[in-house]
Amino acid sequence: MQRQRRIATEEAFATPEQLEALADRIAAGDDSADAPFWGMMAGSANPFAQRVKRQLLDLDDERLAIMDAEGVDMHVLALTSPGVQMFAPDRAAAMARDSNDRLAELVARHPRRFAGLATIAPQDPEAAALEVERAMGKLGLNGVMINSHTNDEYLDEEKYLPIFEAAAASGAPIYLHPRAPSRGMAGPYLKYGLETAMWGYGAETGLHAVRLIMSGVFDRFPGLRLVLGHMGEGLPFWQWRLDYMFASGSNRPKLELLPGEYMRRNMAITTSGMNWDKALAFCIEAVGIDNIMWAIDYPYQTTPEAVEFMDRAPLSDEDRTKIYAGNAERIFNIAPLADELEMERA
């Protein structure tokens, strides 16, 4: 098989200030559904937590060594969930700006190895919109990541409209990334530790994406692109039923398209943390090969298994190239490798 360029599109990093602030919030008695995971992460004796924290903070050394060992050309980086969305607005906005500055500096140091998704603080929608513009303009980043709900609110509320206006105007894809369920839905998930990646992350983020569809935001901004990880957080599987129930319901908003049509026109999905041939085959059929990007979910999941999965997936070379790199180049405005080499020669 011909060597493919490999761009991993949901790869996390952290700053020391973010991890310290999260630990302080948990120690102060945070009662959100994010608390059990980040409480575990703050514990010094947990081997998983220690490895993940080390790899979240490392950007130039171990990360690049693992990428080189497994033939991964680029990470599309974003500040790890829940980003800055658990903090007061002023502090969150300052943390977001600092994180984005550091990310832009890293990309400038390693332009062929890293691209970046900006962090914003939806707690202050106007300031968040300005940060979208700064990140996509001055900093030259590749999109925005928002970690689902903020203060138990969802982005379909009218107050968050400036964020979408800025994203649409600047051509910024919005990666809607999971966090633990909001307080209104979290209770039943907590008994068996289901609030995180086992089930709650996908349920929470899938709900959020459906709310955005139903809000009419994609009629308002038809060029807006939303990215969902983990093979679409369950939405591709529910596409037929979403369309059926929407068409048969009398108490739902009037939209220009069916929900599934927005999924194929305005959304893209990544394979992060879902290294399963059957899921990939179904998603290709449901949302189309041009709307799927490869991802690892580093460091929460391991690089070798994600590479092996995509290398062995029953795909044509053309389709594998699209998922491994071509779709990411188009959706996140990443220069194709041939263009980068040409620029270097010039």
The residues carrying an active-site annotation are 297
Q: What is the C-alpha separation between 323 and 289, in angstroms, rounded?
A: 7
Would you say 141 and 331 are in contact if contact means Cβ atoms under 8 Å apart?
no
SS3 297: coil
Q: How many helices (H) and strands (E) does the chain have?
A: 17, 9
End-to-end Cα distance, the chain = 31
Which one, of 284, 132, 135, lies nearest residue 221 by Cα? Answer: 132
Up-side HSE of residue 3: CA atoms within 13 Å toward CB? Answer: 5
Contact between 105 and 80 under an 8 Å Cβ cutoff? The reply is no
Of 117, 111, 124, 182, which is closest to residue 153 (Cα–Cα)?
182
Question: What gap in Å lies between CA 340 and CA 112, rounded to an integer?
Answer: 8
Element containing residue 269 per DSSP (H, E)? strand 267-270
Contact 229, 177 (CB under 8 A): yes
Report DSSP state, residue 110.
S
Query: Collapsing DSSP states into helix, strand and coil, what is residue 67?
Result: helix
Tokens in use for 118?
Answer: 């900006």
| DSSP conformational letter for 158 | G
